Structure 1
Amino acid sequence: MMYWRVSWRYLTRNKLRSFYTILSILIGISSIFAVLSTVETAKKMTMERLKLYTGNADYSIQSSSHTFSGSVLDDIQQDSNVKAAIGVIHKQARFDLGGPENLAQTRLRITGLSSLRSELLTLEAVSGNLANEGIILPQTTAGLWKKNAGDLVRLQLPTGNMEVPVAAIVKDTPLLEGPSSWDEASSKSWRALAPLQTVQQWYSLTGQVQEIRIKLNDTAEEQSALASIGNKISDPSVFMEKIVLDEKQTNQLEELYLMLYAIGGLSMIISAFILYNTLYVSVVERKNEIAVMKTVGFIPSQIKKLFLCEVLILSLLGLIFGIPLGLGLASLMQKGLFHSFQANISYSPEFAIALPITIILGLCIPLAAAHIPVAYASKIDVIATLKQVPAQQKEKTTYRVVAGIVLLFGVFLNSIVSLLFLLAGVTLLFPFILSLFTRFFKRIGFMGYEGKIASNNILRTLNRSANMSVILAFVICLGLFVSSIFASMETSIESEVNHSFGGNLQLSTETPLTPEKLNAIQQFEGIHGVTAYKEKEVLWSGDKKINRFTIISANPDWYQKHPLFYDPQRKNTDLLQLLKAHPNGVLLGDYAFREWGGKAGEPIRIIRNNVPTELIVLGKVNTSQYGGYTAFMEESHFDKLFPETNAYKGLITVADRAAETSVKDFLLNTFPFDLERVQTLSEELEKQKRALPGVKSLFNGLLMISIAVVGIGILNTLIMNVMDRMREIGVMRAVAFTSGQVITSIVSESVVMGICGTLMGILLGIAMTYVNALTMQDTAASFVISIDTLLLSTFSGLLISLLAAVVPAQKAARYNLGQALKHD
């Protein structure tokens, strides 16, 4: 108990220093807590949405003929191994609200379900009754349509126009995920539910289903259950597939998560540096006190315990106040992140993992930062301290400079690890760099005589000042590096989409794209060419886990001019020849290649109709299809591997890009009840760019928090420097130094640290961006520097340095002259 009392007494004796140290710790803790919570919430939300979409089913039964007899559903529901089964059919319709909606905004995909109260379906009614006759709308759609339960909606159906009542309005669910605005409706269909029999009647598909989703009994033996279900399927075109929830199909945010971790972690590391500085100064200030304690019987372990108690008090206070602040910050981050992608996503914040990890990090990182000063305190030499023998550090400084220069050569490794070598080398060299900067400013007479005094003060506390200056450099460097990634994405989006969109328009239909349909499309004026391609979702195994992605057929003739993929290092003709020469060869999209983790020439194991098959990975390509989580196979080889697959996707080229809109309207008019989706090249570009501004704002906000923590660190460092020199300041005042000159000298000290940190941060950020562009030549990464971020970083670095000097400068100027002269 004595240790805690002594530690608390010392912390309260230095209230201002302790306050700013706690403030930096709690901001670091709140940042890492918010980041962890946001990432975990995003991951959990993605998986839950996948489960909601599939109804948490185990298997899906489909047909290569698009629809099949619903009698299969009746037979399966009687199987004792089946816990629940539901029949599904999707069809297209049009609606008329009597408003100014254009053709593209009135597409409605109606999903017919054999049961609206199945265990495989989660529908929570907001108003109305699911048992009522009519269609069921999600809450967001009903709000945009301004419809309530019982209102009529005019539908255009193959059987004619009719007014259909709104049976119920339910909470938003992935199965009914439609547009979140009328603008989004131009490229995305609305969604609604209806009883299966009703949809069958509307579309003259009596007794037909498109899919059956099955959930097995918990006690059922899987293989025997599958055999039993298989015996009930006599149609050779009907097949059964296992449902695998692979979040990578919809959630490809690993790089985003890493950047969030980097910024949140940086705030925590900055806090640790501030704590390290505070504790180290505390040890130096109390060297005589520690020496005296040792002379009266204190052993090194007791000295360590005393300082560790101080660290734990600071850490606990940081956690107590930082976690509630982190809750609010997490809420803001999650709203900003999810709104960037889709406004009507519902989610609940996830804290179960973030909270314990934050507590562990909030205790362990400060304790790790305290290791060196605490060990130094326990090893203080009693005789040397009492005799005030100065320590010699020249050899250590020399070793540090040599080690830093050696680490800088790691940049030439041409690997992502080069960035770590660069950061480590600059960290070791920074005291030497700050020393050169300071001597330069001293030589040119920066801020006059007061500037010389400031320069001497920095050189006197070089390591302490260098620690905060290098952290400022890292924050600015990270800001430039992240902004360069976004700038590179912005500049590469148009190039990547143009190189991998396959034409001017993409379309997908509810029924197979037959030659007759393609011929009808080709006849429209303005269309230059049209083709259909096939896709097949397959399971693939990797890292002891079953995953799921889509294999796309590649038509060599079409892809020569309008490919769905490209390689910056190779011509498309070479890629197509490579695919044609290997019957079992595939090219993986960049994201799929990274997740697979192998090398070109090695096999990837897929599961086709429950039978394992090995395909040879011929290489990696860039593509905008499925975010790069896909594979491509030459068309004739694809047909041999998946003979039962029909084409539901099409590509269209137009003679003039201005004709994209008119062609889209033609398709909507020609296939009103079959066209599931049609997207123009311009719409895809807009969609890809839409999320970037929101995500950039999120990162800029986090970086501002990190810069604010750096400001606290500089402020704390200056306060410690002022307290160290209080007697010296008193002497200066006594010999006619004015308050203004004292303030100027301290502000100059902060500005020199700020200029050095800012300039080195900019140079380091440019260097890291360049190294990253060199090591990632096979990706879309390019050497792009955002001028806006560069100017903002420069302004923020200098401003925070000036603001950080205000409190210590005023404290020094207002300090009582008599007390200052008596200060020890």
Structure 2
Amino acid sequence: MIGVALVFPYLFKMFVWLLRPVYRLLFGFSGEVATRNLNRNLSRTAMTSVILCLGIAMIVLMSSLNSAFIQTYEKIIYSSYGGNLDIEFHHIEKTDLEQLKKIEGVADAQTYPLQSVIWNLHGQKRKLPVYGVGEEWIDRFPLFAVSGKSHSELVSNLEKDELIMDQIAYDVWGGKIGESISLETLQGTRNFKVVAVVNSMKNSGYGAFMREDDFRDSFGLKYERNALVLKDENTTPLELRERVFNQFGGRIMEMFGPEDWVSVISVTYTGAFSIINFLVILSIMISGIGITNTLLINIMERVRELGMMRAVGVTRRQLIRMVLLEGFGIGLAATVTGCIFGILLIYITSTFLEVHSLTYQFGVSWTIILFIGLFGILISLISSFMPAFRAAKTRLSEVLRYE
């Protein structure tokens, strides 16, 4: 951004050079004078334009980052939620799993154990959700995202007193892979070696995973309360929930699906980015005041020139057109450069996220670019109206009195 600000006067000068034949062809004398005036006091005009340019670039980037974060979390959620529906029962009977599989629209189902375990962290006691996972079903119902190997391979390699930590819990812990954490078990406080770190959206990404049989030996949970469900292609998430609820009714404490998490994440990030976008739009509107100020100063410096032009037959309409074309040129240069710079920022950001193993891919919404571009040009035109009418009100008698 500093680099763009430093080279912008040269970019602006080149842009005016490209704009001159277009203005001359479309607007004749008014266009010729407008492009000439844009090159006068180049540093002042360019700095006014670059403020608008940076504001447009930032709103292009922010509108893209909003969808980027949603895309990232959406992929993680769907790859680590364990299915299309996670049900928490008040209790699960022995026959419930078979009944769940027989419901219309259910492709497969699996129960799993979950326990909030007391975790001794740096002398303090905290709760850590621990999931018991089986290598025979974890590939069909992935509770975490893994790269480089299959879920079942990772789980099958777990030894007794070993577990996998979620990234957020791992960051809270502050240790390293290969070190141990202390958990309260049926046999008292035991150390469990952390052998891997994974990403998951279960419990907002805070938890740990161990083999199902080791889980039962350590925590003695006999009755499971959670079930994962996969739906078939012809069933919608809403239909699946209705049929499950009709079967089990009041025994269900909670049903949550990946689309619910996506909605929560979308609302959260969209709300946060709305505040940022509002501030950027406010800065763009303030830059419009800068355009007005620059044009007014230019008019005050050229008041005698404008009077002489009126004296030789230039009409008020032509003067208004000249100033409007100046403002339009400032805004057009800022808008075009800002959109190009914003697209470059999107590309840089997508490359950065790709390096850090996230999922955002480079992409440009031309509809958003079009609306932002029109908004920038509209701001510049609105900002030019007052200076234009100020120039048109120049009194010929007062000007000529001093010539």
TM-score (norm 2): 0.81
The count of aligned residue pairs is: 395
Equivalent residue number for residue 134 of structure 2 = 555
Confirm whether residue 601 of structure 1 aligns to residue 177 of structure 2: yes
Equivalent residue number for residue 431 of structure 1 = 9
Question: How has the CA–CA distance of structure 1 residues 729 and 478 changed in structure 2, closer, same or farther, with 3 Å as cutoff?
Answer: same
Shift of 1:647: 3.7
What stretches of structure 1 of length at least 5 have no aligned partner? 1-422
Contact 2:160 2:214 in 1 (8 A): no
| Distance in 2 between residues matched to 1:636 and 1:671, nearest whole Å | 25
Within 5 Å, give how 1:337-348 maps onto structure 2.
none
Contact 1:518 1:530 in 2 (8 A): yes
Within 5 Å, give how 1:691-730 maps onto structure 2.
700-730=277-307
Instruction: Return the letter of the residue paired with 2:207.
Output: A
Instruction: Return the letter of the residue paired with 1:707.
Output: I
Equivalent residue number for residue 238 of structure 1 = none
What CA deviation, in whole Å up to 9, does each residue of 1:248-281 have, x standing for no partner?
xxxxxxxxxxxxxxxxxxxxxxxxxxxxxxxxxx
Question: How has the CA–CA distance of structure 1 residues 584 and 714 changed in structure 2, closer, same or farther, with 3 Å as cutoff?
Answer: farther
Question: How has the CA–CA distance of structure 1 residues 664 and 438 changed in structure 2, closer, same or farther, with 3 Å as cutoff?
Answer: closer
| Distance in 1 between residues matched to 2:28 and 2:195, nearest whole Å | 67
Confirm whether residue 618 of structure 1 aligns to residue 196 of structure 2: yes
Within 5 Å, give how 1:266-345 maps onto structure 2.
none
| Distance in 1 between residues matched to 2:22 and 2:121, nearest whole Å | 65
Shift of 1:675: 1.6
1:759 to 336, 360, 367: 336
Contact 2:112 2:131 in 1 (8 A): no
Equivalent residue number for residue 643 of structure 1 = 219
Report the 3-state secondary structure (helix = DSSP H, G, I; strand = E; otherwise coil) of the residue aligned with 1:619.
strand
1:678 to 238, 255, 269: 255
Question: How has the CA–CA distance of structure 1 residues 668 and 731 changed in structure 2, closer, same or farther, with 3 Å as cutoff?
Answer: same
What CA deviation, in whole Å up to 9, does each residue of 1:90-113 have, x standing for no partner?
xxxxxxxxxxxxxxxxxxxxxxxx
| Distance in 1 between residues matched to 2:4 and 2:178, nearest whole Å | 40
Shift of 1:587: 3.9
Question: How has the CA–CA distance of structure 1 residues 454 and 526 changed in structure 2, closer, same or farther, with 3 Å as cutoff?
Answer: closer
CA-atom RMSD, angstroms? 3.8
TM-score (norm 1): 0.42
What stretches of structure 2 of length at least 5 have no aligned partner? none
Question: How has the CA–CA distance of structure 1 residues 510 and 737 changed in structure 2, closer, same or farther, with 3 Å as cutoff?
Answer: same
Instruction: Return the letter of the residue paired with 1:630.
Output: Y
Shift of 1:663: 5.2
Confirm whether residue 735 of structure 1 aligns to residue 315 of structure 2: no
Give the percent of matched residue pairs that are identical in Structure 1 and Structure 2: 23
Question: How has the CA–CA distance of structure 1 residues 754 and 578 changed in structure 2, closer, same or farther, with 3 Å as cutoff?
Answer: farther
Instruction: Return the letter of the residue paired with 2:256.
Output: Q
Equivalent residue number for residue 507 of structure 1 = 87
Shift of 1:464: 1.9
Shift of 1:507: 0.4
Shift of 1:691: 5.8
Contact 2:327 2:381 in 1 (8 A): yes
Within 5 Å, give how 1:391-410 maps onto structure 2.
none
| Distance in 2 between residues matched to 1:427 and 1:822, nearest whole Å | 42
Within 5 Å, give how 1:143-542 maps onto structure 2.
423-446=1-24, 447-491=27-71, 495-511=75-91, 513=92, 515-524=94-103, 526-527=105-106, 528-536=108-116
Shift of 1:793: 0.3
Shift of 1:807: 0.6
What CA deviation, in whole Å up to 9, does each residue of 1:343-366 have, x standing for no partner?
xxxxxxxxxxxxxxxxxxxxxxxx
| Distance in 1 between residues matched to 2:139 and 2:175, nearest whole Å | 25
Shift of 1:448: 3.2
Equivalent residue number for residue 801 of structure 1 = 380
| Distance in 1 between residues matched to 2:120 and 2:316, nearest whole Å | 73
| Distance in 1 between residues matched to 2:40 and 2:195, nearest whole Å | 60
| Distance in 2 between residues matched to 1:810 and 1:659, nearest whole Å | 61
Confirm whether residue 781 of structure 1 aligns to residue 357 of structure 2: no
Contact 2:75 2:359 in 1 (8 A): no
Report the 3-state secondary structure (helix = DSSP H, G, I; strand = E; otherwise coil) of the residue aligned with 1:658.
coil
Instruction: Return the letter of the residue paired with 2:4.
Output: V
Shift of 1:723: 1.9
Contact 1:465 1:717 in 2 (8 A): yes
What CA deviation, in whole Å up to 9, does each residue of 1:737-757 have, x standing for no partner?
332222222212211111111
Contact 1:500 1:566 in 2 (8 A): yes
Equivalent residue number for residue 164 of structure 2 = 586
Instruction: Return the letter of the residue paired with 1:676.
Output: M
Report the 3-state secondary structure (helix = DSSP H, G, I; strand = E; otherwise coil) of the residue aligned with 2:137.
helix
Report the 3-state secondary structure (helix = DSSP H, G, I; strand = E; otherwise coil) of the residue aligned with 2:245.
helix
Confirm whether residue 813 of structure 1 aligns to residue 392 of structure 2: yes
Question: How has the CA–CA distance of structure 1 residues 541 and 795 changed in structure 2, closer, same or farther, with 3 Å as cutoff?
Answer: farther
What CA deviation, in whole Å up to 9, does each residue of 1:66-90 have, x standing for no partner?
xxxxxxxxxxxxxxxxxxxxxxxxx
Confirm whether residue 633 of structure 1 aligns to residue 209 of structure 2: yes
What CA deviation, in whole Å up to 9, does each residue of 1:689-718 have, x standing for no partner?
566666665555444323221211211221
Question: How has the CA–CA distance of structure 1 residues 459 and 631 changed in structure 2, closer, same or farther, with 3 Å as cutoff?
Answer: farther
Report the 3-state secondary structure (helix = DSSP H, G, I; strand = E; otherwise coil) of the residue aligned with 1:710.
helix
Question: How has the CA–CA distance of structure 1 residues 510 and 814 changed in structure 2, closer, same or farther, with 3 Å as cutoff?
Answer: same
| Distance in 1 between residues matched to 2:275 and 2:42, nearest whole Å | 35
Equivalent residue number for residue 570 of structure 1 = 148
Contact 1:579 1:633 in 2 (8 A): no
What CA deviation, in whole Å up to 9, does each residue of 1:384-436 have, x standing for no partner?
xxxxxxxxxxxxxxxxxxxxxxxxxxxxxxxxxxxxxxx22212111111111
Instruction: Return the letter of the residue paired with 1:706.
Output: S
Q: Which runs of 4+ in 1 moved over 6 A?
A: 544-548, 597-600, 609-612
Instruction: Return the letter of the residue paired with 1:430.
Output: F
Question: How has the CA–CA distance of structure 1 residues 576 and 617 changed in structure 2, closer, same or farther, with 3 Å as cutoff?
Answer: closer
Larger relative CO (CA 8 A, sep 6+): 1 or 2?
Answer: 2
| Distance in 2 between residues matched to 1:689 and 1:430, nearest whole Å | 36
Question: How has the CA–CA distance of structure 1 residues 625 and 713 changed in structure 2, closer, same or farther, with 3 Å as cutoff?
Answer: farther
Shift of 1:461: 1.9
Shift of 1:495: 3.9
Shift of 1:530: 1.9
Question: How has the CA–CA distance of structure 1 residues 516 and 468 changed in structure 2, closer, same or farther, with 3 Å as cutoff?
Answer: same
Question: How has the CA–CA distance of structure 1 residues 738 and 427 changed in structure 2, closer, same or farther, with 3 Å as cutoff?
Answer: same
Contact 1:742 1:809 in 2 (8 A): yes
Contact 2:292 2:387 in 1 (8 A): yes
Report the 3-state secondary structure (helix = DSSP H, G, I; strand = E; otherwise coil) of the residue aligned with 1:570.
coil
What CA deviation, in whole Å up to 9, does each residue of 1:569-604 have, x standing for no partner?
534448725963695442424x556x5496973758
Of 667-676 and 707-716, the range deviating more from structure 2? 667-676
Instruction: Return the letter of the residue paired with 1:586.
Output: I
| Distance in 2 between residues matched to 1:668 and 1:564, nearest whole Å | 23
Report the 3-state secondary structure (helix = DSSP H, G, I; strand = E; otherwise coil) of the residue aligned with 2:336.
helix
Instruction: Return the letter of the residue paired with 1:739.
Output: R
| Distance in 1 between residues matched to 2:98 and 2:297, nearest whole Å | 80
